[in-house]
A and B are shown apart, each in its own frame.
Chain A
């Protein structure tokens, strides 16, 4: 590539960055300090989740490095604390900060996977339901309605419970992840489907769709080329809000003891385990993971709120 074309390329890239920076979306992001803070916090969570083995000061699940002699150490700044363990240690002598970092990784991972599956399922069904209509639409929407009249957490709990009873009480290990992720995604597809359907119904009556039909374009072409790009805005908003909800749901399931396997604890599992020691004074084992979970949920929710307001100018 010649130098001039490279220059042109980088100029175009700068132009794009500039356009993005000046866009209404970026502007509404910059304007709200709370949103920027939420964005930064979320980014920190994401990075530390991605690079957990390198970020965490200890490997809490390496039996060789964990010593039972270090158990129940309070946070470093409290009398009896150890400077090696900033947030103290748990009943097995694991570093609480490291378990939180690894736990966030699990929480975020399950959250992302669930939302991805829920979104794919919901968007597809919503598009079909909204554009094709008819009996198919009626069936999909009836299911959605019945499901929607029960809270997500109950649906997830039920699906989780059912799959567990089918598999028998011994369902541990990786299969437990599959169970949790499918339970959460089956609980959250409805939001996507309903929103996509509603948006699709609005968009399909618009004349650009009619124009495509006059030109003889087929159903699949119109659904994916015309309608899909136009429903992505609301989908993004719901995905963000659902991510916060999915993280909380996973934590709740794990807290209730029907979530991820105890060998790979998420924040919810940590809180559950720590809860047993709340009364004996070792509060840090449960409170710190709790705070970590609260901040994670809050940040993602704040981002979702901002996205919703920014993409829906009516609400401002």
Chain B
């Protein structure tokens, strides 16, 4: 070995004593990080990746504790240090960044005070010198007007800016290692890109190594030098990033990579790993992945595999043991390419739209009380969540709606199914008008044809109800007697979504997130819908489970002839499932066209920006273009084209005149620059 590793974790074991016995959250984990290196740690939720990071800096949440192994940092063992000594290492030599920038900062102190506090705690500087350094740091992380902003409180910063402050705090004392735990998960795609670029640049300037913990393979693929894949408290595979992503060895990694949708390729179905990660109290013996592994053989269920060198990686899998002759690993992706620009169901691909909305507006009054308004001389505050949106969806197609948070995409979903009464505009379903509450009441039978699937599988099922009651809720009264009664129908619905009718007697908390989402889908199907509105149905799920749900949705669409409105912030997911895609920005669809066309020939500068920003495994190793600015508030949107403050092609007309949608080669686009043909052509990354 040329140089000693900066951090070495040997046989780490973390335990949680509970009333049901001791849970082993991390079992015999070893890894090392070299100086200046970026090690990505990936895994699905519950794999133990965050806990590994917390264990290294000695911040495990009680009752969790390190029960074995050692952690050596810079030649010094740090896992058994007394509290006062480890504190001198935290912040000074090992910095940390957490997920949520909104809650990471003390709301009562100015950011300047928080930075100087930290500097003074570690470096022999006077208050004045510390402030100068704090100012430098703020400038370095790209806070505009830092001299003024240093005296501002956290609530005066936006999410992205706060995460920059958090990075400045982590870098205060030039630590040799930064543990970044999901540093971009809470941020929008465009901000995410900025933060990743910034983090990587600063760390290479300061010579810091990074342990980047994330569930997002896209982020890892373009940031990390090496990757460790964790599963159920152990490392399954560790190696150079391109090896792990493009020629994974471990069946779990292979499955995981296959289950990630990518904007780089089009497949009909994603690779599916059945089941979900075992809970800590029911980890199987032998290899913990063997119950889900398509290639498991006898030895896997009895003997635990240890990491062995395979190529330039190290893999914990019996397939690669010298004694194994029986099995050979599968290739990564075995799916056929398909053209999905046409609907999945044949015969019904008529041009007549099933659902159509025109000039849809949804405003919310968030004004303070009248008295306050008078005293503070402020007017009403109106959130223009949806502001003149046109959409039409043809029977049998999947219309994907993407946009960053706050763009109004969820509001569109809720307005269309009638959870909100539209402020203005028309909605019609199969020719029947559903624009107002009265019309919806009159067209009850049509209204039943629309159902909705929600994002959070925790919150979308009533925890006090049995699954059978939940699923039965949407069965219309007129259908309750038919086909052997409600219970037979519930059983059939559960079977349709890949569950057992026996599951009907259980309560939601007895199921995993993916299973709950299946129950949610079964409930939606109970109304015998034609049209399903899916609001971020997979955002709260792990990738392998997301693949299961996306596959299920594709299967159901084919067998039941469903039409989907699929809402997501995730471009890759939308790219995978949709036949048509619309891009939303501040309450309007700025561009829509057939999926393939949109992703290969994006026109709108915002669409291009998103495509540039999105981390994707197909972009491993490529440099990203930095995107400037953040999404403005829908309370006071910019004049003219709402995107103009961030648009490199904006001119005076963009600043004053709202662009209208025009059709350009099958794409509907609202952009003056396209209209005036002053936009350069798109070169795909």
Q: Which residues of A contact B (CB under 8 A)?
A: 27, 206-208, 210-217, 226, 229-230
- Complex CA distance for A70 and B414, rounded to whole angstroms: 78
Cβ contact of B454, chosen from A27, A207, A215, cutoff 8 A: A207
Report which of A207, A217, A230 forms a contact with B455, defined as CB distance below 8 A: A207
By size class, the interface of chain B is: 20 to 34
**Cross-chain contact A206 with B452 (CB below 8 angstroms):** no
Inter-subunit contact B419/A207 (CB<8 Å): no
| A45 CA / B598 CA spacing, docked (Å) | 74
* B464–A211 CB distance below 8 A: no
- Asked if B417 is an interface residue, CB under 8 A from chain A, the answer is yes
Residues 451-489 of B at the A interface (beta carbon under 8 Å)? 451-452, 454-456, 459-465, 470, 473-474
B463 CB contacts on chain A under 8 angstroms? 230
Q: Is the CB of B452 within 8 A of A214?
A: yes
Contacts A215-B527, A229-B464, A230-B464 given; does A210 touch B473 at CB 8 Å:
no
Give me 16 A-to-B residue pairs in the complex whose CB atoms sit less than 8 angstroms apart, sorted by A's number: A207-B454, A207-B455, A208-B462, A210-B452, A211-B452, A211-B454, A211-B523, A214-B417, A214-B418, A214-B419, A214-B450, A215-B451, A215-B473, A217-B473, A226-B462, A229-B464
What's the Cα separation between A216 and B417 when bound, in Å?
A: 10
Contact A214 B451 (CB under 8 A): yes
Do A207 and B459 have beta carbons less than 8 Å apart?
Answer: yes
Cβ-closest 4 pairs across A and B: A207-B454, A207-B460, A206-B459, A229-B464
Judged by a CB distance under 8 angstroms, whether B444 is at the interface is yes
Chain B neighbourhood of A226, CB < 8 A: 462
Question: Is B678 part of the binding interface, using a Cβ–Cβ cutoff of 8 Å?
Answer: no
- Select one of B417, B464, B473 contacting A212, CB under 8 A: B473
Contacts of B465 in A (CB 8 A): 229
Query: Contact at B444–A216, with CB atoms within 8 Å?
Result: yes
Note all chain B residues with C-beta closer than 8 A to A210.
414, 419, 452, 454, 460
> Known contacts A27-B19, A216-B448, A230-B463; is A211 also within 8 Å of B414 by CB?
no
**What residues on B are CB-neighbors of A215 within 8 Å?**
448, 451, 473-474, 527
Which residue in chain B gives the minimum CB-CB distance to A209?
B462
Which partner residue on chain A sits nearest B526 by CB separation?
A215
The verdict on B447 contacting chain A, using a C-beta distance below 8 Å, is: yes
Distance to closest chain A CB from B150 (angstroms): 35
Chain B residues within an 8 Å CB radius of A213: 418-419
Complex Cα distance, B460 from A213, in Å, reads: 12
CA distance A24 to B473 in the complex (A): 29
Chain A residues near B418 (CB, 8 Å)?
A: 213-214
**Chain B positions within 8 Å of A214 at CB level:** 417-419, 450-452, 474
A116 CA / B417 CA spacing, docked (Å): 40
CB distance from A137 to the nearest CB of B (A): 13
Question: Are B473 and A211 in contact, with the CB atoms below 8 A?
Answer: yes
Q: Do B455 and A211 touch across chains, with their CB atoms under 8 A apart?
A: no
Q: How far is the CB of B464 from chain A (nearest CB, A)?
A: 4
Which residues of the other chain, B, contact A217 by a CB distance below 8 angstroms?
Answer: 473
Whole-angstrom CA separation of A230 from B417 in the bound complex: 25
Docked pose: A207 CA to B462 CA in angstroms: 9
Residues in A whose Cβ lies below 8 Å from that of B448? 215-216
CA distance A207 to B535 in the complex (A): 11
In the assembled complex, the CB of B511 is this many whole angstroms from the nearest CB of chain A, namely: 14
Compute how far the CA of A206 lies from the CA of B419 in the bound complex, rounded to whole angstroms.
13
| A310 CB, nearest partner CB in chain B, Å | 13
A212 → B minimal CB distance (Å):
6
Output the least CB separation between A221 and chain B (Å): 10
Q: Closest approach, in angstroms, between the C-beta of B279 and any C-beta of chain A?
A: 16
Chain B, Cβ-Cβ closest to A227: B462
Q: Which B residues, 104 to 147, have Cβ-Cβ distances below 8 Å to chain A?
A: none
Q: What 0/1 readout, one digit per residue, does chain B (386-420) give for beta carbons within 8 Å of chain A?
A: 00000000000000000000000000001001110
Residues of B within 8 A of A207 (CB): 454-456, 459-460
- Rounded to whole angstroms, the CA-CA distance of A226 and B470 in the bound complex is 10
Q: List 13 other contacts, CB 8 Å, given A210-B460, A230-B464.
A: A27-B19, A206-B459, A207-B454, A207-B459, A208-B462, A208-B470, A210-B414, A210-B419, A211-B454, A211-B524, A215-B527, A216-B448, A229-B465
A contact residues around B454 at 8 Å (CB)? 207, 210-211
1/0 per residue, CB under 8 A from A, across B645-669: the answer is 0000000000000000000000000
Residues of B within 8 A of A229 (CB): 462, 464-465
Asked whether, in the complex, the Cβ of B460 is within 8 Å of the Cβ of A208, the reply is yes
Q: Of residues B450, B463, B464, which shows the largest number of chain A Cβ atoms within 10 Å of its Cβ?
A: B464
Chain A, Cβ-Cβ closest to B452: A214
Are B473 and A206 neighbours in the complex by a CB distance under 8 Å? no
Q: How far is the CA of A206 from the CA of B19 in the complex (A)?
A: 31
What chain A residues lie within 8 Å of B473 (beta carbons)?
211-212, 215, 217
> Which of A206, A208, A215, A230 has the most B CB atoms < 10 Å from its CB?
A208
Q: Smallest CB-CB separation from B457: which chain A residue? A: A207
Chain A positions within 8 Å of B419 at CB level? 210, 213-214
Query: What distance in Å separates the Cβ of A119 from its nearest Cβ neighbour in chain B?
Result: 18
Whole-angstrom CA separation of A207 from B453 in the bound complex = 9
**B645 CB → nearest A CB, Å:** 32
A216 contacts B447, CB within 8 Å?
Answer: yes
How long is the Cα–Cα vector from A56 to B559 in the complex, in angstroms?
A: 74
Give the residues in chain A near B19, CB-CB below 8 Å. Answer: 27
- Nearest CB in chain B to that of A28: its residue: B19
Query: How far does the alpha carbon of A84 sit from the alpha carbon of B419 in the complex, in Å?
Result: 72
Question: Across the two chains, which residue of chain A brings its CB closest to B447?
Answer: A216
The reply to whether A211 and B444 contact each other, CB–CB distance below 8 Å, is no
Report chain A residues within 8 Å CB of B470: 208
A216 contacts which chain B residues (CB < 8 A)?
A: 444, 447-448
Collect the chain A residues with CB atoms within 8 Å of residue B417's CB: 214
Q: How far is the CB of A5 from chain B (nearest CB, A)?
A: 19
Residues of A within 8 A of B451 (CB): 214-215
A27-B19, A214-B450, A215-B527 known; A206 vs B464 contact (CB < 8 Å): no
| CA distance in complex: A35, B477 (Å) | 48
How far is it, in angstroms, between the C-alpha of A226 and the C-alpha of B448 when the chains are bound? 20
CA gap between A216 and B444 in the complex, in Å = 8
Q: How far is the CB of A48 from chain B (nearest CB, A)?
A: 34
| Minimum C-beta distance from A24 to chain B (A) | 8
The CA-CA distance from A1 to B207 in the complex, in Å, is: 80
Give Cα A240–Cα B520 distance, bound, in whole angstroms.
Answer: 36
Which residues from B are CB-within-8-Å of A208? 459-462, 470
Q: Give the complex CA separation of A230 and B463 in angstroms.
A: 8
Min distance, Cβ B246 to any Cβ of chain A, angstroms: 38
Chain B 559-581 residues near chain A, CB threshold 8 A: none
Give bound CA distance, A30 to B474, whole Å.
41
Contacts of A230 in B (CB 8 A): 462-464
CA of A5 to CA of B445 in the docked complex: distance in angstroms? Answer: 44
Residues of chain A with a CB closer than 8 A to B456's CB: 206-207
Q: Which residues of A contact B414 (CB under 8 A)?
A: 210
CB of B431 to closest CB in A, whole Å: 20
Complex formed: what's the CA distance from A206 to B459 in Å?
Answer: 5
Considering the chains assembled together, what is the distance between the CA atoms of A208 and B516 in angstroms? Answer: 12
